[in-house]
Amino acid sequence: MDKPRRPRGFISRRIYQLMHAPKPVFRAVFSNVSVAALLTLLYLAYDLQVDHALRSGEGLSGVIGGRDLRTEAAALLVLGTVIFGSLITYLTVPQPRADGKGTERSGWSAVLGLFASFPVAYIALVIESQFLKPLFAQLQ
């Protein structure tokens, strides 16, 4: 006779949940992370360009926009992640139909993407400002 299985501990349950995430949640997070990664790279390039112009004393005339628009660019990163992440989630996460025959697009998929987009966007900004910018600033 087999021994009864011991219940998992708190950490083991969380690792299991992480490794076996539901497909809709994985797709929502993955779509938002991919959009945020692309927008973060664009924001990083602009941030480094402005930082270099300010440190060299050349002025901001050669920078896109002609002035320091990093706050607006960060807001566009968040807005772009929210909009495009929600849209991609809407397109890639179909909901089951009530009659059980097939799937259909639903606004709830976009809401799932919306809820996943805000933390992803702000984590992307933290990674850019705390890790990527100092790393690439040293390389210049």
Q: List the domain boundaries for the chain.
A: 23-139
* Alpha carbon separation from 28 to 114, 122, 132, 139 (Å, rounded): 9, 16, 24, 34
3-state secondary structure of 62: coil
- pLDDT tens digits for range 32-70: 999 999 999 999 999 998 888 888 877 777 777 778 888
Residues 20-33, mean pLDDT to the nearest whole number? 88
State pLDDT tens for residues 82-119. 999 999 999 998 877 778 788 888 888 899 999 999 99
What's residue 122's pLDDT? 96
Residue 1 has what pLDDT?
Answer: 58
Q: Choose among 37, 64, 48: nearest CA to 133.
A: 48
User: Residue 95, exposed/middle/buried by CB under 10 A (0-12, 13-18, 19+)?
Assistant: middle
CB distance 44 to 136 below 8 Å: yes
